[in-house]
Amino acid sequence: MADEVKKRVFSGVQPTGKVTLGNYLGAIRNWTPLQEQYDCLFCVVDLHSLTVAQVPAELRKNTLNLVALYIACGLDPDKSILFIQSHVHEHAELAWILDTVTYVGELNRMTQFKDKSRKHADNINMGLMNYPVLMASDILLYRTQYVPVGKDQVQHVELARDIAERFNSRYSDTFVVPECLLSRTGSSIKSLQEPTAKMSKSDPNDNAVISITDDADTVRRKLRRAVTDSDTDAHCVRRSEDKPGVSNLLNIYSLCADVSTDEAERLFEGKGYGYFKDAVADAVISVLQPIQDRQRILLEDKGYLETVLKRGAERASHIAQNTLAKVYRKVGLVPQIR
């Protein structure tokens, strides 16, 4: 009996800023087990990063760093397709076609467009508005069934679903309508300084964010400065709505130490905040150091990374070309004679 065809998963991260502990626990770490169950494509979405002005040399460096980080975190180029978005030109080409079935009102309503427009009021460009259409192209190009996302990205996947259904209705069945694959863990890692807000790699306060590349001393310093609460009892380590800072640190500890939050709470019962924060730091460092060591080795072997990216782009392009050819035919474009 033939093996059952695996369902397809697609996801990606922008090569901007420093990848945070939240990015790792909420996304990248959760991708590794998906490789065993699904046909996976993991992309460095460099085209998306251009919606905000970039320093070209830094963007190139960050892109390669992120590829190395993917592999260091456990993504296997023999099990998954790892590639850079701009190496597969069909992403941008399909995005143009999808623009023609996407309404301005839909894009105006996107929460991320509103947020980024406020943060970058001097650079509200069309790429910023069209970002969700390019994301839909990323997903639909590979006939993706599942997209692993955090809650903040659900709106984008819902738009991709709407676009796919609209195109299918207008031109006949073409795209798979994707579904969200919500992470059960790590999706709510908060800022160390504003624990009601998501930990974000674009946060201007460096003390609010733990980067995957932070050394042990830096991790410990940031966690010792992390906001807890104004409770006069400094031995009250517990989860509570009125203790978002402590709750966030308990969540980080439980994920890094691989224990339940209930167990973490019991471990620190009666302990002071200083002891608690040092234990959280120990757990985070034990997770990050092996990744950092592996990434450093990978970055020293540029030939290996180039081989991975060349093979990944070829494999991704093979799928993308077939999808785009089908789309071009459906909308009435004359095929190129080769």
- Per the model's pLDDT, the better-predicted residue between 235 and 38 turns out to be 38
Percent of the chain scored above 90 by pLDDT?
Answer: 71
What's the CATH code of the domain at 286?
Answer: 1.10.240.10
Same domain, 102 and 161: yes
Average pLDDT over residues 65-73: 97
Q: In this model, does residue 18 exceed pLDDT 90?
A: no
pLDDT in tens, 93-130: 999 999 999 999 898 888 777 777 677 677 788 888 89
Same domain, 32 and 137: yes
Let me know if residue 180 belongs to a domain. Answer: yes
The first and second tokens of residue 330, run together, are 């459906």
Same domain, 256 and 130: no
Same domain, 226 and 167: no
Let me know if residue 273 belongs to a domain. Answer: yes
Let me know if residue 27 belongs to a domain. Answer: yes
Same domain, 225 and 164: no
Only one residue has tokens 């023609």, namely 100
Same domain, 42 and 171: yes
Let me know if residue 201 belongs to a domain. Answer: no
The pLDDT of residue 231 is 58
pLDDT in tens, 120-154: 677 788 888 899 999 999 999 999 999 998 777 88
Same domain, 278 and 308: no
Question: pTM above 0.85?
Answer: yes
Let me know if residue 218 belongs to a domain. Answer: yes
Contact present, 315 and 77 (Cβ < 8 Å): no
Q: Which one from 116, 190, 222, 243 is the annotated catalytic residue?
A: 116
The pLDDT of residue 120 is 67
What's the CATH code of the domain at 327?
Answer: 3.40.50.620
Same domain, 183 and 324: yes
Let me know if residue 159 belongs to a domain. Answer: yes
- Is 79 one of the annotated active-site residues of the chain? no
Q: In this model, does residue 186 exceed pLDDT 60?
A: no
235 band by pLDDT with thresholds 50, 70 and 90: low
The pLDDT of residue 333 is 96
The pLDDT of residue 209 is 95
Q: Which one from 79, 201, 271, 330 is the annotated catalytic residue?
A: 201
Let me know if residue 336 belongs to a domain. Answer: no
- Is 116 one of the annotated active-site residues of the chain? yes
The pLDDT of residue 1 is 36
Let me know if residue 338 belongs to a domain. Answer: no
Domain count, the chain: 2
Same domain, 260 and 218: yes
Same domain, 150 and 242: no
Same domain, 22 and 128: yes
Q: Report the side by side order of strands in the sheet with 146-149.
A: 80-84, 39-44, 8-13, 146-149, 179-182
The pLDDT of residue 2 is 44
- Is 243 one of the annotated active-site residues of the chain? no
Of 1-5, 107-111, 133-137, 182-186, the poorest mean pLDDT is in 1-5
Q: What is the mean pLDDT of the chain?
A: 91
Q: Which one from 198, 271, 326, 330 is the annotated catalytic residue?
A: 198
Same domain, 171 and 226: no
| Host domain of residue 275 | 206-296
CA atoms within 13 A on the CB side of 117: 16
Dihedral sign (CA 79, 85, 87, 92): positive
Bridge partners, 146 (sequence order): 9, 179
Give the number of other Cβ atoms within 10 Å of residue 53's Cβ. 10
